[in-house]
Every structure is written in structure tokens, then in C-alpha cells.
């Protein structure tokens, strides 16, 4: 291989692919795992039906140990099928296998609906007696059982629950798969740098919005808009169908609002979530001030939507996989050697799938899989400097999932509201480490600016998207099906609320709601990003105040997984999530970042001394 080929491979992260075969744990195929799960399911029905509410702590623990084994087998099969599909949505056989696993898994677990229903129906004194029993054998499922009791008012009868579960295979999950297949086929025509064009995945077009050359950004914006246009009505229909499906489910379960089910899953009250949203909306001046400052730095009277993520660096730098991983490992090592060793293992073992490919799902994610295995990371590496932050982010998820495995399958995962804490913390550590290593004022300003862009995107943009979701869910329930224009108007309106006069929204941007997978896969998810970012910033501030003595607290938080309520987990790192003013403290940190970015711009000579961030 020539040096040029090696450099090209490194820039594309070619060859950085995961190995999913160990998920089968020596079995020949997914059906062998599902056969084992079926056998355990039959056993649980025989030993548990009609007895759950009267079981002692020891009996309930023993029963759930067997249930845990069943979930391990199903989740191994499901992750094997879903992760293969994520990187190859074009292969009909891969899609068919995923559908097969979903259908068999549903058939295996549907007879077990009685477990949740009987536990919810247990008298309060009996349930509390079990939950307060000091028997340590119950610890691996204690918080899960306590949390499950909260769903009591919203559960249906067993026959109704069985129908709901059976129909989900041809309901929301089927429509979500269709969305993924539609989006994986979207391609954009980008400038190839020599006067021609090249066809590239959507991710490449979005990545070019960070380019320092405005003409490149404008071309990429037009290419993305053109790429999204052909299937826009179909994606609107998919979204409408899922909005109505959720409306029906919520009505049958008597949830008071479209967001209640998500908040329950996050162990958060509707009121506390609304307090977060209100606090962020009240500080929309922060993104508006940042974008006004950025326009002055870039020499543009007013930013357009395709300028928001523009790099302020003086050159369009690219970064290869080897250099990026070295930076991230060094950053994590500056905080904790133990965490750095986990990060190195992710990068050394075939646990990451990094390159962009035709048919690969967009975005990036971490799949926790099962406690007896390890998480996997999926990226779409485009060799842009912002990809380093994405790598640090997903490795934060990976470390969290790896360390929380000891909690077992029922309590390994946190609510979504805390799921972003480790990832955002990892990004923050990486950016702080990079800042220590930079001497050039322009490079320091570029890094500070990318930090502000990420904070705005994670907190304010996600809350604006929450407001978009609120608008379209409400519209579907109150006025019926939405047209493409209805979606676009809601998107434009909620984006304009955040951006004010600091950013001009173009006509092309009106359709960009249609590529965001969270709206489809996990309705209501997006506010968790703001929650996680503000919490992570507060956690990082504690680290700055305490120093190395804080590291054991942070590791304890990660290892705890979802074995406690969010408030209890927050107390491990001295954060009071029950305090209504908590969010204001996190927002104050972002405002301080804005002031630091302005100072960095002045130090780099990118602003006149009379310029102010709020002017």
C-alpha cells in the first residue's frame, strides 16, 4: 500500500469495523438464542403466573434471575440483527432477519405480560414490604421493581396488553424501519473540488456545513435540500402515521399528554421537564448573542441557517482516524487512567464501526447490548474536526455502558435524561484537554467557538426541536393529519423562536425536519440532550472545583447505571436535580462559555475591541 493510500484509508477510517459474531456467544444463529429464550419463557409462565404479587423478596429475586437470562438471549439476538441492519439497510436478507427476530421476540415475551401487570396490582403494603426487605439478592432488580409501580394507572388488561404488543411489530417499529431505509437511500451531489460533482451520503453534505468557505456551505445546503426533496411527502406520511399511532396508544392508556410516557420512562414528572424547557426557552438570548457574535467574526451581516455550524478556523482542516483517537485517549487519560483504559479497549477491539458506506444508517450511536457482553459504537466518520467531538461523545456512552454492566440487565441503563451525561462530559474533557495543548490564539478561538456551537446545538436546538414535536403531536391530535407545509411551518416557527433575528432561515431549510431520526424512533427524546448537557456541565464544574478527588465520585455515578432514581444519581456527584434553579446554573455556565469565546476572539484579533457579545 502506498503512503497516499494509507493516508486516504486513515482519513476515511477504512477498516474500522465491528465484529458482531461474539453476540451469538458460540451459537450457530439468532434462532438458537431465541429457542433458549422460548424455553425460559415457558418456564416463567409455569412458575410465575398468578404468584407474582404474593412472592417474597427472595422468591421474586430468583424469578427475575431466570427472567434476566431470557432478556440476555433476546437482546443478543436483537442487537445482532439490528446492528447488522444499521450498517447495511440495503440488503433485503439483513432486513428480513431483523423482522424475524422482532416477530419471534414478540411472540416469546407476549405471554410474560402478566409479570408487569401482577406486580403493578400487588397491594401497596405487600409491594413495599418486599421492596424494603434488606435481602441483598433483590438488589439487582429492586429499583426496577419500584420504578415499574409508577405505571399502574396506565396499564390495560392482559388481553389488551397482548394485542398492543403483538400489533407493535407491524406498527411503530415497522414504520421506523421504513424511515431508516428511506433515509439510508438519500444521497447528495457535492462539489468534488475540480469543477465537477460527486455523489455522497447525506452525512457528508451535513458535515460540509462546517466548512469555513461560505460558498461551499451554501452549495452543501442546496445539495442537502435537493437530496431530501424526492421522498419528502412519503416521510411526512410516515411521521403522520407514527404521530397518530402514539395518539391512539396514549388515549387508550389515558396518558394526560403526548410527553407523559417519555417522562415516565425518564423517571421525571411532566412538571419538572416543563421547568427545564421553560428555563432554556427563557435564555434563547444566548444562542442569539452567539450567532450575532459569530456573524461579526465571519464578516457576514446576518448568518443564514447554513452558516450556524461554520468553522471559524482559518483553514479547512481534516483529521485522520489515528490522530483523532490519539487525541481522545489522551483527553480521557488526563481525567482518569481507568476510563482511558476502557476507551483504549474500545478502539483496540472490533467494537466500533466508523466509515460511511452506502446503505449505512446516518448519525452515530452506542448500543449497550447485554451486561455479559460489551457495547458497540457506530459512527459516520467524515474526517472533519467535529468528528473528534462525536467520537469522544460516543466513547462516553460506551464507557458508561461498560462500567454499568455490573448492575445487570434490569438496571444497567439510566433514564434518557442521564444517558447523555457521560457522553457530554467526555466531550467537555476532550475539549478542555485540547485547549491546554494549544498555544495559537486562532486555534484556541476555533476550539472555543466549536464548544459554543455544540452547546447551542445540544441545549437550545434540542429544546427548539422539543417545541416542534409538541406542535406536531398537538396538531395531529387536535386538527388531524399534517401536510408537508404544516410540518415545515412548525419547524420554521420553532427554529425562529430560538434564533430570533440573529439567523436568516432560508426556504430550503424548511424541509430539514424530515431527516431527524429521534422524532421517529424515540418520540420526546430530544429534551434529554439538554438535560444531559446542563447536568454534565455542572458535573464538570464540580470536577474543576474538587480536582482529582472528584474522579471516584464520577466513576461511582457511571457504575450505578440506572440502579437509583435520577435525583439519587445526581447526589453522587453533588448535583441537586430536585432544585428548580438547577437548570439556571447550567445555563449560566454556557453564558460564561460565550463570554470566554468572545475573549478568545478578541485575543485572536478576530473582533474589534469595541465589539460586545450582546451588541
Per-residue pLDDT band for 611 (boundaries 50, 70, 90) equals very low
Q: What CATH number corresponds to the domain at position 67?
A: 1.20.140.70
What's the structural domain count of the chain? Answer: 3
Average per-residue pLDDT for the chain: 94
Is the same domain home to 536 and 426?
yes
Is the same domain home to 36 and 53?
yes
What is the predicted pLDDT for the residue at 241? Answer: 98
- Its pTM stands at 0.88
Q: 3-state class of 65 per DSSP?
A: helix
> Grid coordinates representing 608?
474589534
Residue 520 near residue 234 (C-beta atoms within 8 A): no
Residue 75 lies in a domain: yes
Is the same domain home to 491 and 415?
no
**CA distance linking residue 560 with residue 335, whole number of Å:** 19
Could you tell me which of 47, 73, 71 has the C-alpha nearest to residue 59? 47
- List Cβ neighbours of 478 (8 Å cut-off, separation of 6 or more): none
Is the same domain home to 307 and 334?
no
Residue 81 lies in a domain: yes
Could you tell me which of 458, 453, 402 has the C-alpha nearest to residue 425? 458
* pLDDT tens by residue, 287-332: 999 999 999 999 999 999 999 999 898 776 788 999 999 999 999 9
> Grid coordinates representing 386?
467535529
Q: Average pLDDT of 575-597?
A: 91
**CA distance linking residue 256 with residue 408, whole number of Å:** 32
Percent of the chain with pLDDT over 90: 85
Residue 131 near residue 62 (C-beta atoms within 8 A): no
Residue 602 lies in a domain: no
- Domain holding 497, by residue range, is 209-313+449-517
Is the same domain home to 513 and 395?
no
What is the predicted pLDDT for the residue at 610? Answer: 41
**CA distance linking residue 172 with residue 261, whole number of Å:** 15
What is the predicted pLDDT for the residue at 614? Answer: 40
pLDDT of 123 above 70: yes
Q: Average pLDDT of 33-59?
A: 97
Could you tell me which of 200, 419, 438 has the C-alpha nearest to residue 317? 438
* pLDDT tens by residue, 424-448: 999 999 998 888 888 889 888 988 9
**CA distance linking residue 47 with residue 44, whole number of Å:** 5
Q: Which residue has the higher pLDDT, 611 or 165?
A: 165
**CA distance linking residue 254 with residue 304, whole number of Å:** 43
Residue 245 lies in a domain: yes
Could you tell me which of 594, 500, 501 has the C-alpha nearest to residue 302? 501
Residue 14 lies in a domain: no
- List Cβ neighbours of 61 (8 Å cut-off, separation of 6 or more): 135, 137, 138, 140, 141
**Beta strand 376-381 with 365-367: parallel, antiparallel or unpaired?**
antiparallel
Q: What CATH number corresponds to the domain at position 489?
A: 1.10.1370.20
Residue 4 lies in a domain: no
Is the same domain home to 580 and 538?
yes
Among 22-36, 132-146, 303-317, 391-405, the range scoring the smallest mean pLDDT is 303-317
Q: What CATH number corresponds to the domain at position 530?
A: 1.10.1370.40
Residue 190 lies in a domain: no
What is the predicted pLDDT for the residue at 613? Answer: 41
Q: Report phi then psi at 77, rounded to 5.
A: -65, -45
Is the same domain home to 240 and 336?
no
Cα 275 to chain center, whole Å? 21
- List Cβ neighbours of 165 (8 Å cut-off, separation of 6 or more): 106, 109, 110, 113
What is the predicted pLDDT for the residue at 294? Answer: 96
Amino acid at each position: 500500500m502506498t503512503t497516499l493510500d494509507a493516508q486516504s484509508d486513515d482519513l476515511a477510517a477504512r477498516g474500522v469495523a465491528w465484529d458482531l459474531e461474539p453476540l451469538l456467544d458460540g451459537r450457530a444463529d439468532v434462532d438458537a438464542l431465541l429457542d433458549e429464550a422460548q424455553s425460559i419463557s415457558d418456564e416463567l409462565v409455569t412458575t410465575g403466573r398468578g404468584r407474582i404479587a404474593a412472592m417474597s423478596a427472595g422468591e421474586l429475586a430468583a424469578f427475575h434471575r431466570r427472567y434476566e437470562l431470557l432478556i440476555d438471549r433476546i437482546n443478543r439476538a436483537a442487537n445482532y440483527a439490528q446492528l447488522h441492519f444499521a450498517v447495511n439497510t440495503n440488503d433485503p436478507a439483513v432486513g428480513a432477519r431483523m423482522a424475524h427476530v422482532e416477530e419471534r421476540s414478540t411472540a416469546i415475551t407476549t405471554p410474560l405480560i402478566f409479570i408487569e401487570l401482577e406486580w403493578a396490582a400487588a397491594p401497596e403494603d405487600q409491594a413495599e414490604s418486599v421492596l424494603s426487605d434488606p435481602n441483598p439478592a433483590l438488589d439487582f432488580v429492586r429499583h426496577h421493581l419500584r420504578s415499574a409501580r409508577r405505571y399502574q394507572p396506565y396499564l390495560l388488561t392482559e388481553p389488551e396488553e397482548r394485542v398492543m404488543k403483538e400489533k407493535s411489530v407491524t406498527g411503530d417499529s415497522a414504520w421506523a424501519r421504513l424511515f431508516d431505509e428511506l433515509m439510508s437511500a438519500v444521497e447528495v451531489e457535492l462539489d468534488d473540488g475540480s469543477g465537477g460533482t460527486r455523489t455522497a451520503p447525506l452525512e457528508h453534505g451535513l458535515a460540509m456545513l462546517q466548512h469555513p468557505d461560505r460558498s461551499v456551505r451554501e452549495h452543501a445546503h442546496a445539495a442537502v435540500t435537493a437530496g431530501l426533496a424526492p421522498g419528502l411527502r412519503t416521510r411526512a406520511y410516515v411521521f403522520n402515521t407514527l404521530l397518530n399511532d402514539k395518539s391512539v396508544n396514549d388515549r387508550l392508556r389515558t396518558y394526560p399528554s403526548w410527553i407523559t410516557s417519555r417522562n415516565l420512562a425518564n423517571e421525571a414528572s411532566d412538571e419538572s421537564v416543563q421547568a427545564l424547557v421553560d428555563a432554556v426557552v427563557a435564555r434563547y438570548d444566548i444562542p442569539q448573542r452567539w450567532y450575532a457574535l459569530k456573524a461579526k467574526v465571519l464578516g457576514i451581516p446576518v448568518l443564514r441557517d447554513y452558516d450556524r455550524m461554520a468553522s471559524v478556523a482559518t483553514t479547512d482542516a481534516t483529521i485522520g482516524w489515528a490522530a483523532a483517537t490519539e487525541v481522545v485517549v489522551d483527553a480521557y487519560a488526563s481525567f482518569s487512567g481507568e476510563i482511558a483504559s476502557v476507551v483504549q479497549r474500545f478502539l483496540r477491539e472490533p467494537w466500533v464501526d466508523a466509515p460511511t458506506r452506502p446503505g449505512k444508517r446516518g448519525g452515530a450511536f452506542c448500543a449497550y447490548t447485554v451486561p455479559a457482553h460489551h457495547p458497540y459504537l457506530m459512527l459516520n466518520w467524515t474526517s472533519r474536526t467535529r468528528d473528534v467531538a462525536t467520537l469522544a461523545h460516543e466513547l462516553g456512552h460506551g464507557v458508561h455502558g461498560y462500567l454499568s454492566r455490573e448492575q445487570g440487565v434490569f438496571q444497567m441503563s439510566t433514564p434518557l435524561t442521564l444517558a447523555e451525561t457521560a457522553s457530554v462530559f467526555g466531550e467537555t474533557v476532550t475539549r478542555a484537554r485540547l485547549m491546554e495543548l494549544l498555544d495559537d490564539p486562532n486555534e484556541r478561538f476555533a476550539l472555543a467557538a466549536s464548544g459554543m456551537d455544540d452547546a447551542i446545538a445540544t441545549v437550545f436546538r434540542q429544546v427548539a426541536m422539543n417545541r416542534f414535536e409538541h406542535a406536531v403531536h398537538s396538531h395531529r391530535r387536535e386538527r388531524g393529519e399534517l401536510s408537508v407545509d404544516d410540518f415545515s411551518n412548525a419547524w420554521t416557527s420553532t427554529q425562529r423562536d430560538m434564533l430570533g433575528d440573529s439567523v436568516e432561515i432560508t426556504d430550503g431549510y424548511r424541509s430539514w425536519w424530515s431527516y431527524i431520526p429521534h422524532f421517529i424512533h424515540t418520540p420526546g427524546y430530544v429534551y434529554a440532550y439538554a438535560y444531559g448537557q446542563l447536568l454534565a456541565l455542572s458535573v464538570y464544574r464540580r470536577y474543576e472545583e474538587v480536582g482529582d478527588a472528584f474522579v471516584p465520585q464520577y466513576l461511582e455515578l457511571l457504575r450505578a447505571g440506572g440502579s437509583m432514581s435520577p435525583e439519587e444519581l445526581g447526589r453522587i456527584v453533588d448535583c441537586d436535580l430536585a432544585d428548580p434553579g438547577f437548570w439556571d446554573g447550567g445555563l449560566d455556565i454556557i453564558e460564561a462559555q460565550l463570554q470566554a469565546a468572545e475573549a478568545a476572539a478578541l485575543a485572536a484579533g478576530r473582533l474589534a475591541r469595541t465589539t460586545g457579545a450582546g451588541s
